[in-house]
Amino acid sequence: MLKQALAQNGLIAILRGLRPQEAAAVGEVLYSAGFRVIEVPLNSPEPYESIRILRSTLPADCLIGAGTVLTPEQVEQVKAAGGQVIVMPHSDAKVLRAAKAAGLLLSPGVATPTEAFAALAEGADVLKMFPAEQMGPAVVKAWLAVLPAGTVLVPVGGITPDNMQVFVEAGVKGFGLGSGLFKPGMTPEQVAVNAKAYVAAWNALR
């Protein structure tokens, strides 16, 4: 399901710092721009409430998830709030297993082939390459040469509309977008401008 959403639009919105009172408006402009996966990091203010609002506001074909998930207990809280995707900065097997047991989609953070293979063995749906600034397209190409066919790598960190092409040419099928898309204090109108720029760049590369 996560792979299908990314096949429709490979961009994941990471809304670090989102507040519940702005969740609906920001979610709606992202959906209108074409985003189909939206993540609220758990180190945001009242993240579970924002996840609840996004899930109740947006159509069913938009997946709502949580980022910076660090414990099995948080996995349960995300599920209770209506979240469908668990995104992690790391690959803690306890969290991976809790997410799979809860029936949630899973995107753990990996920075080495060893972590990538281990995460896939635990049932990861897609792999978050984090931080992307440290890796680059050459690493993507090398990993995809040895990882199982069909593995989806999603670089996160420092992605702009201008640097996506080199990653896509290396085989990337999606990106996680943070502060280049949304920062606390931005109006929905500002987010909409950024979202359209990313989607235009993504569509031009497909």
28 is a catalytic site residue: no
Q: Please, how many CA atoms are within 13 Å of residue 160, restricted to the half-sphere of its CB?
A: 4
Which residue is catalytic, options 22, 79, 122, 128? Answer: 128
CB of 124 closer than 8 Å to CB of 96: yes
Pure H helices in the chain: 2-8, 20-33, 47-57, 72-80, 93-101, 113-121, 137-146, 164-170, 188-205
46 is a catalytic site residue: no
- Fill in the DSSP letter of residue 159: -
What CA–CA distance (Å, rounded) separates 131 from 111?
7
Give, for 108, the enclosing helix (H) or strand (E). Answer: none
The amino acid sitting at 97 is R
Which residue is catalytic, options 22, 39, 79, 122? Answer: 39
Q: Would you call 140 exposed, middle or buried from its count of C-beta atoms within 10 A (0-12, 13-18, 19+)?
A: buried
| Residues annotated catalytic, as ranges | 39, 128
